[in-house]
Amino acid sequence: MDIASPNFENVGPFTRAWEWLKALPVKLWAMAVEFANKMKKLGQDDPRRIIHSLKVGVAITLVSLFYYVRQLFDRFGENGIWAILTVVLVFEFSVGATLGKGLNRMLATLSAGALAVGVDQVATLFDGTGQPIVLGIFVFIISATVTFMRFFPALKARYDYGLMIFILTFCLVSVSSYQDAEVLEIAYERLYTIIIGSFIAIIVCICVCPVWIGETLQNQIANNLEKLGNFLEGFGKEYFRLSEEGHSTDDKSFLHGYKSVLTSKDKEETMANLARWELWHYRFGFRHPWNRYLKVGTLTRQCAYKLEDLNGYLNCFEIQATPTEFRREIQEPCIQICSESGKALKELASAIKKMRRSTLVNSHIDSSKLAAKNLQSMLNNSLWENANLREIIPTAAVGLVLINIVPCTEKIVEAFQELASRARFKRMDDRVSPNNDV
């Protein structure tokens, strides 16, 4: 925006302010256009975001009928506000998160309401001044204890929201009970409006284009494996200069894909925690072994650390030189390891996506183990006369990392097989039926 920033140095403050004001509409317009473009891009990147926003709008409009429709308002009165509040707070992007929050909220309201009614009974045993003191002591003890319980890692992972709502409801009901005698009614009204709100949120979330976080986790784990596989396959060609002879070298995005795997831990754990709430998904069913996905994810990450290492050798200046004799010598088993491990990982990725077992993967692993053994014996037995360490060492180091990648891949396969048996993945024999490829 050149017009927006002319040279102000020799003009007075008034002129400067005027120029700034004159430029303001143009600036604002540019900002608005940029904002609109960003919004458009966000929507294009993942159209589910647009659908989610519309779903939230629909759910809130639905629940606000409690106010707009005379008959409903006469029945529920101003308590309908809790239902609106619940929809806004509970409605999340994925089914798992919405279910988790909804169930947490309902159970916490139920139990905290019951406790508050009980505490109110105790407090009524005391006279005028004693009553608020007893209530205050209970509020203090219970809110401090439950706040402390929120630090338990196991509770925090799945019930954090519920514990917060427990404190909230207990305080609301028991505090209101002091000024309003009908404590049971307060607790009851809060409970059923929250149940109505939660159900509206959950039903809209599940019935209109649902986003299952379990599917997202499964895809993420599979995509991570695929990224690693792509890197390995690409690395072999790139490092041993096969690409110069063959096809182009310009698209090297596959060499950076694995980087996102390095820091995927927290996201995967959050997703697994949310996926546990999706009890009745048509593909996963009840008690799907989400922990096993995390195991595969952890091993994938450990493999990614080794790729980070390989990537370092790729950028190292020694590699820029033409391939040495030694490199050509060990080229074959190295490329074999890269391509077979890469294929194994990509086969696993596809098997996870299709939820079927894989027998192909074992043959890839066997080939890569054989290649690793060859490479190891090459490195072990060769007595290199007049060997120039400068030429040998970087390449040999790459060879060592590749040898280490083979047991790494094997561990991933083992973890996958455990997952496949726990999650009852289909056997390969069933693969002929077309609907397994969904």
Among 26, 33, 144, 181, binds its own copies (CB under 8 A): 144
Binding mask 91-130 for its own copies (x = CB under 8 A): ----------------------------------------
Query: How near is the Cβ of 379 to its own copies at its closest, in Å?
Result: 5
Name the amino acid, one letter, at 371.
A
Tell me the torsion sign for CA atoms 348, 349, 355, 356.
negative
Answer yes or no whether residue 319 interacts with its own copies by CB under 8 A.
no
Answer yes or no whether residue 209 interacts with its own copies by CB under 8 A.
no
| DSSP helix/strand/coil, 153 | helix
Answer yes or no whether residue 374 interacts with its own copies by CB under 8 A.
no
Site for its own copies in 19-38 (CB under 8 A): 38
| Window contacting its own copies (CB under 8 A); options: 85-93, 103-111, 216-224, 413-421 | 85-93
Answer yes or no whether residue 156 interacts with its own copies by CB under 8 A.
no
Tell me the torsion sign for CA atoms 37, 42, 47, 50.
negative
Torsion of CA 378, 379, 385, 390, to 10 degrees: 130
Answer yes or no whether residue 320 interacts with its own copies by CB under 8 A.
no
Question: Applying CB under 8 A, what is the total number of residues that bind its own copies?
Answer: 81
Q: Which is nearer to its own copies, 30 or 88 (CB)?
A: 88
Q: Which is nearer to its own copies, 146 or 415 (CB)?
A: 146
Q: Where do runs of H (alpha helix) occur along 316-359? A: 317-320, 325-354
Q: Which is nearer to its own copies, 64 or 243 (CB)?
A: 64
Among 312, 325, 366, 427, binds its own copies (CB under 8 A): 312
Answer yes or no whether residue 54 interacts with its own copies by CB under 8 A.
yes
Answer yes or no whether residue 384 interacts with its own copies by CB under 8 A.
yes
Q: Which two tokens stand for residue 34?
A: 């940029």
Q: Which is nearer to its own copies, 73 or 254 (CB)?
A: 73
Among 135, 196, 420, 423, binds its own copies (CB under 8 A): 135
Answer yes or no whether residue 56 interacts with its own copies by CB under 8 A.
yes
Among 390, 422, 424, 427, binds its own copies (CB under 8 A): 390
Among 18, 29, 280, 305, binds its own copies (CB under 8 A): 305
CA 392 to chain centre: 42
Q: Euclidean distance between the first and final Cα of the chain, in Å?
A: 51
426 DSSP assignment: B
Query: How near is the Cβ of 189 to its own copies at its closest, in Å?
Result: 13
> Rounded to whole angstroms, how far apart are CA atoms 138 and 131?
11
Q: Which two tokens stand for residue 431?
A: 């693969």
Q: How many of the other CB atoms lie within 10 Å of CB of 369? A: 18
Q: How many of the other CB atoms lie within 10 Å of CB of 294? A: 20
Query: How near is the Cβ of 433 to its own copies at its closest, in Å?
Result: 39
| DSSP helix/strand/coil, 241 | coil
SS (H, E, C) 80-112: HHHHHHHHHHHCCCCHHHHHHHHHHHHHHHHHH
Q: Which is nearer to its own copies, 19 or 309 (CB)?
A: 309
Quote the longest CA-to-CA distance of the chain.
Answer: 100
Site for its own copies in 248-277 (CB under 8 A): 262-263, 265-267
